[in-house]
Structure 1
Amino acid sequence: MDEKKVLIVDDQNGIRILLMEVFSSEGYMTFQAPNGKIALEIVRAESPDLVLLDMKIPGMDGLEILKHIKEANPEIKVIMMTAYGELDMIKEATELGALMHFTKPFDIDEIRTAVNMHLKGGAVL
């Protein structure tokens, strides 16, 4: 069984470290990127199974990164992380192929459960 790859894209270092710890402990191979440019380099090099993508990133924003991810590989699953009140962007993200979103501050267990559900095929362990 191949190790599933999770890429965390957020400009906040603390959030990246937290999520990397959570998903490493779940047995995923984790990657992180502070911006869109690095995120897309990782997408092309590693083809992650799932990307946790922050909506508000300086430079290339989450929607733009999402478009590029889906162009690079439509199979990659994307879950958005948003600040409160970005509903119009969430709607657009869904239309672009994001699976779901979590509003910050999010519940780590909810994100863990969602990622496991999408990557382990809904199998309840």
Structure 2
Amino acid sequence: MTKKKLLIVDDQVGIRILLLEVFATEGYETFQAPNGRIALDIVRTNRPDLVLLDMKIPGMDGLEILKQIKEYDKEIKVIMMTAYGELDMIKEATDLGALMHFTKPFDIDEMRLAVNMQLGQSSSSQFATGS
């Protein structure tokens, strides 16, 4: 079985390192990018299953990166991260296909659960999730 691929896009190195460590131990193949250009290169070369995408990135913002990811492949799942309560941007991100968003500082366990749920990994959960 191939490992699920996860791309972390954030201009803050501390957040990237934290998320890389958490998701590497969950068994994902993890990639990181500090900006949109590198993120989109990784999307094209490695096609991640899920992208954790910061809303506020210098240069190309999260919404623009999200648009380009979805233009490249609609199947790639995206979860937004934001330090700001910008409801209009969050709504736009949802309209563009983002699954959900986390406001920083986020609860790392909630983030882990959300990612595992989206990627169908039930490593730490014995419970079926239904809606």
Q: Percent identity?
A: 78
Give runs of aligned pairs for residues 1-125 of structure 1, distance below 5 A: 1-120=1-120, 124-125=125-126
Greater than 3 Å deviation, 4+ residue runs = 121-125
Instruction: With the length of structure 1 as denominator, give the TM-score of the two structures.
Output: 0.97
- Going from structure 1 to structure 2, the CA distance change for 1:88 and 1:122 (only over 3 Å counts) comes to farther
Please give the secondary structure, in 2, of the residue aligned with 1:8: strand
Structure 1 residue 122, shift from structure 2 partner? 6.6
Letter in 1 for 2:63: L
Where do 5+ consecutive residues of structure 1 fail to align? none
* Cα displacement string for residues 61-93 of structure 1 (whole angstroms, at most 9, x for unaligned residues): 000000000011100000000113211100000
CA RMSD of aligned residues (A): 1.2
Where do 5+ consecutive residues of structure 2 fail to align? 127-131
Instruction: With the length of structure 2 as denominator, give the TM-score of the two structures.
Output: 0.92
Counterpart-to-counterpart distance in 1, 2:66 and 2:26: 24
How many residues are matched? 125
Counterpart-to-counterpart distance in 2, 1:83 and 1:92: 16
- Going from structure 1 to structure 2, the CA distance change for 1:121 and 1:3 (only over 3 Å counts) comes to closer
Please give the secondary structure, in 1, of the residue aligned with 2:30: strand
Instruction: Give 1 or 2 for the bigger CA radius of gyration.
Output: 2
Counterpart-to-counterpart distance in 1, 2:76 and 2:112: 17
